[in-house]
């Protein structure tokens, strides 16, 4: 009897021999239509985005466009430059006559880094060759391209200044390009004499100002000379200041049986060529305001110099400096040789206890050299005085206990923290006589040290370390002690004297 096969088994066998059939469903999404279903398009899109970002990043920013009107073009043309402090800060885009035909309008594109120049108060002029008895400038433009000079507003960092895009350019180079700030006065004389625009104003032969302009007075009976006394010399001015013309030449002929001859007197070859104005202050007087009028005399009076001997520019007391002299023997190839160094200390008084703060660098020599000697005013100190010097909380200074009359700074009344740069005085006292003198340090030459937050750098200080190292640094207006002047090689610093004097956020 044949085997019986169930119906279900037969159907199963037939289904196994039938190939599978795929069910096809069409995709109608927008992404599928755009990219064709391939994921490589995503990688391509990512590369395009990166390339676009790199192109945008590498494209320089456009900068700031300004327009300057000048009376004359003086040959200025497209692609000439705008320069400030000797570097290029902009480019001339176009030069054309203005609508009134009374001048030229220059379109300038300032670099992004020079955008601060596009503020009110900035002055522009065209630099061109100028050669005369009183001035030589712009000679590089005689055979090269002309360029536009810039003098920013002295208060350019003032946040209240408004942006400006249209300027009236100057016809000539300003005489006060390098020193815009100061006190402007009017000197009224009987005639022009030898004074001209750009002449110097001198105090005992030192330039303290400049002549801005020379013109007839309104009634034409006098000559008015506008002068500017620079800010750093404003303390020389009082209501008792005297001004006179610096004559080019002064001859004094003498004849007689006992001999003769002549004297030739001139302040300098510079005043011989350009003339100028001299000044002296005969007394304390009253405070001077901008625009005050003084008489311009034809010559100086001898009595002025006698009275000026008692004039003091400031009541700041120069004190606290203590002169030191160190000596030790140094061993070299040719035997032992004595070395000598001079430095200063600062006398201070804390809670009634007087001490002398000195730079720690030289005293480190005493720790390793028995021949090290230290003296003050020619008097040699006992070795225990400087070997037992106490730490001031800083690796740069140490404190000595000395007895003597040093006119100390009383702390904390006589001290002030240096929160921002100010005009200062470095004080020095002569070692052989009781005479103090100083050197001025302008506030714009004091910068925060990038590596040490407790130090401030003094830019372009040319003092001898044997004279100024360790000197007290005081404020120029009231004589408050700021810190100590430290000179290491070609670098000069101000180290605060134990106060919280570091400006927050500067340095590590």
| φ and ψ at residue 494, rounded to 5 degrees | -115, 120
Which residues pair with residue 91 across a beta bridge?
81, 109
Distance CA 96, CA 70 (A): 10
What lies within 8 Å, CB to CB, of 298 at 6+ separation is 189, 190, 193, 244, 245
| Region at 498 (left for phi over 0; alpha for psi -120 to 50; beta for the rest) | left
CA-wise closest residue to 274 among 199, 341, 355:
199
Spans of the chain, pLDDT less than 50: 1, 178-179, 251, 253, 255-257, 499-508
| First-residue to last-residue Cα distance in the chain | 106
The dihedral formed by the CA atoms of 412, 415, 421 and 423, expressed in degrees to the nearest 10: 160
CATH 1.10.3470 given to domain 315-508: no
Q: Report the candidate in 377, 380, 415, 384 with the shortest Cα–Cα distance to residue 401.
A: 384
d(CA 452, CA 449): 6
Considering the entire predicted model, what is its pTM?
0.64
Q: Residue with structure tokens 């004094």?
A: 252
What share of the chain in percent tops pLDDT 90?
27
pLDDT in tens, 205-258: 888 998 988 999 888 899 999 999 988 888 899 999 999 998 655 545 454 445
Distance separating alpha carbons of residues 69 and 96, to the nearest angstrom: 10
- Summarize pLDDT for 140-174 with one digit per residue, the tens: 555 567 899 998 877 666 667 788 899 999 888 77
The pLDDT, as a whole number, for residue 223 is 94
The Cα angle at residue 372 between residues 368 and 373, in degrees rounded to 5: 150
> Who's near 504: CB < 8 A, 6+ residues apart?
none
Smallest CA-to-CA distance from 465 within 413, 412, 500, 428 is with: 428
How many Cβ atoms are within 10 Å of 414's Cβ, its own excluded?
Answer: 18
The total number of residues shown for the chain amounts to 508
Which pLDDT belongs to residue 503? Answer: 35
Q: Is the dihedral of CA 424, 430, 431, 433 positive or negative?
A: negative
- How many other C-beta atoms can be found within 10 angstroms of the C-beta atom of residue 316? 18
3-class DSSP state of 241: strand
Pairing of strands 200-203, 276-281: parallel
For residue range 300-356, what is the model confidence (pLDDT) as tens digits?
998 999 888 888 777 788 889 999 999 888 776 666 788 888 999 999 988 888 889
* Chain centroid, CA 452 distance in Å: 20
Q: For 107-164, where are the alpha helices, taking DSSP H only?
A: none
Q: What is the pLDDT of residue 458?
A: 94
Contacts of 331 (CB under 8 A, 6+ apart): 337
Distance between CA 407 and CA 370 in Å, rounded?
31
Q: What are the structure tokens assigned to 119, written together?
A: 């503020």
**How many angstroms from the chain centroid is the CA of residue 273?**
31
CB neighbours of 124 closer than 8 A, spacing ≥ 6?
A: 68, 82, 148, 149, 150, 167, 169, 170
Domain span(s) for CATH 2.40.10 in the chain? 315-508
Contacts of 4 (CB under 8 A, 6+ apart): none
């Amino acid at each position: 009897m044949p085997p019986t096969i169930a119906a279900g088994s037969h159907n199963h066998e037939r289904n196994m021999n039938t190939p599978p059939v795929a069910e096809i469903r069409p995709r109608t999404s927008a992404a599928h239509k755009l990219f064709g279903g391939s994921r490589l398009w995503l990688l391509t899109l990512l590369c395009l985005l990166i390339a676009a970002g790199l192109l945008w990043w590498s494209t320089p920013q456009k900068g700031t466009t300004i327009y300057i009107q000048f009376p004359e073009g003086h040959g200025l043309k497209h692609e000439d430059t705008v320069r400030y402090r000797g570097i290029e800060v902009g480019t001339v885009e176009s030069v054309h006559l203005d609508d009134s035909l009374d001048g030229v309008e220059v379109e300038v594109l300032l670099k992004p880094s020079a955008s601060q120049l596009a503020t009110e108060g900035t002055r522009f002029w065209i630099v061109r060759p100028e050669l005369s008895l009183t001035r030589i400038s712009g000679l590089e433009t005689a055979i090269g391209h002309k360029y536009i000079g810039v003098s920013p507003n002295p208060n350019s960092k003032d946040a209240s200044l408004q942006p400006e895009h249209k300027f009236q350019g100057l016809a000539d180079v300003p005489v006060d390009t390098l020193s815009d700030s100061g006190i402007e006065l009017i000197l009224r004389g009987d005639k022009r004499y030898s004074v001209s625009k750009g002449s110097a104003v001198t105090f005992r032969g030192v330039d303290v100002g400049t002549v801005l302009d020379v013109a007839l007075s309104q009634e034409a009976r006098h000559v008015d000379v506008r002068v500017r006394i620079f800010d750093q010399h404003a303390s020389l001015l009082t209501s008792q200041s005297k001004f006179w013309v610096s004559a080019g030449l002064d001859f004094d002929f003498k004849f007689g049986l006992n001999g003769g001859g002549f004297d030739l007197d001139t302040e300098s070859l510079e005043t011989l060529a350009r003339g100028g104005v001299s000044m002296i202050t005969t007394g304390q007087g009253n405070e001077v305001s901008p625009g005050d009028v003084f008489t311009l005399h034809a010559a100086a009076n001898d009595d002025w110099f006698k009275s000026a001997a008692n004039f003091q520019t400031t009541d700041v007391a120069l004190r606290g400096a203590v002169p030191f002299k160190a000596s030790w023997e140094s061993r070299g190839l040719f035997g032992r040789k004595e070395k000598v160094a001079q430095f200063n200390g600062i006398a201070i008084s804390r809670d009634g206890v007087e001490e002398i703060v000195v730079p720690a660098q030289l005293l480190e020599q005493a720790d390793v050299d028995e021949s090290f000697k230290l003296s003050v005013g020619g008097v040699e100190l006992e070795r225990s005085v400087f070997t037992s010097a106490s730490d001031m909380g800083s690796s740069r200074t140490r404190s000595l206990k000395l007895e003597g009359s040093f006119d100390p700074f009383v702390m904390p009344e006589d001290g002030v923290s240096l929160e921002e740069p100010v005009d200062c005085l470095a004080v020095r006292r002569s070692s052989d006589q009781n005479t103090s003198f100083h050197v001025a340090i302008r506030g714009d030459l004091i910068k925060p040290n990038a590596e040490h937050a407790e130090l401030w750098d003094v830019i372009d200080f040319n003092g001898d370390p044997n004279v100024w190292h360790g000197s007290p640094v005081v404020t120029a207006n009231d004589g408050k002690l700021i810190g100590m002047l430290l000179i290491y090689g070609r670098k000069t610093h101000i180290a605060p004297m134990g106060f919280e004097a570091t400006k927050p956020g500067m340095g590590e």
